[in-house]
């Protein structure tokens, strides 16, 4: 079946612009996670959705970062007024809720802020 998909695969933007990154989770997966991977920081958690609500936003680095999820499916991560330090690969993962259900990752969006 279809896995987690993300778009765009690559995004180059200028400092100060806003960007939107999209994640399509596996159908039926209620839990959705955003992570980012940068050279200096490794792979770090950003935000967790259960359905359309986000009970854990503790990893968002600043108020320029926000995310939403609609219909319990697609999620969008928005970065406002991008900075060069936002350059990273943004990864989305989804899973069933409960117990030890494993997370399945998408291929990521590589964001480059010039």
Partner 1 sequence: DAKTTQPPSMDCAEGRAANLPCNHSTISGNEYVYWYRQIHSQGPQYIIHGLKNNETNEMASLIITEDRKSSTLILPHATLRDTAVYYCIVRGPNAGGTSYGKLTFGQGTILTVHP
Residues from 18 through 37 that contact partner 1 (CB under 8 A): 31, 33, 35
Distances from the Cα of 16 to the Cαs of 3, 8, 83, 89, 107, in angstroms?
33, 19, 6, 18, 26
Among the listed residues 19, 25, 48, 75, the single contact to partner 1 using CB under 8 A: 48
85 binds partner 1 (CB under 8 A): no
Residues pairing with 95 in the sheet: 31
65 binds partner 1 (CB under 8 A): no
Closest C-alpha to 29, from 50, 6, 53, 56: 50
105 binds partner 1 (CB under 8 A): yes
Stretch in the footprint of partner 1 (CB under 8 A) among 16-24, 47-55, 62-70, 74-82: 47-55
Residue written as token pair 């100060």 = 16
State the nearest-atom distance from the C-beta of 97 to partner 1, in Å: 5
Closer by beta carbon to partner 1, 12 or else 81: 12
- Cα separation of the two ends of the chain: 37
Please calculate the CA angle 86-90-96 and round it to the nearest 5 degrees: 145
Residues that bind partner 1 (CB under 8 A): 4, 31, 33, 35, 42-45, 48, 50, 55-56, 59, 91, 93, 95, 97-108
């Amino acid at each position: 079946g279809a896995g987690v998909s993300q778009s765009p695969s690559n995004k180059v933007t200028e400092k100060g612009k806003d960007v939107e990154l999209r994640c399509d989770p596996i159908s039926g997966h209620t839990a959705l996670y955003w992570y980012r991977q940068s050279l200096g920081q490794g792979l770090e958690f950003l935000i967790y959705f259960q359905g359309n609500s986000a009970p854990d936003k503790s990893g968002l680095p600043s108020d320029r970062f926000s995310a939403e999820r609609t219909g319990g499916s697609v999620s969008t991560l928005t970065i406002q007024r991008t900075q060069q330090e936002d350059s990273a690969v943004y990864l989305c993962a989804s899973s069933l809720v409960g117990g030890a259900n494993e997370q399945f990752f998408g291929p990521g969006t590589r964001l480059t802020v010039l």
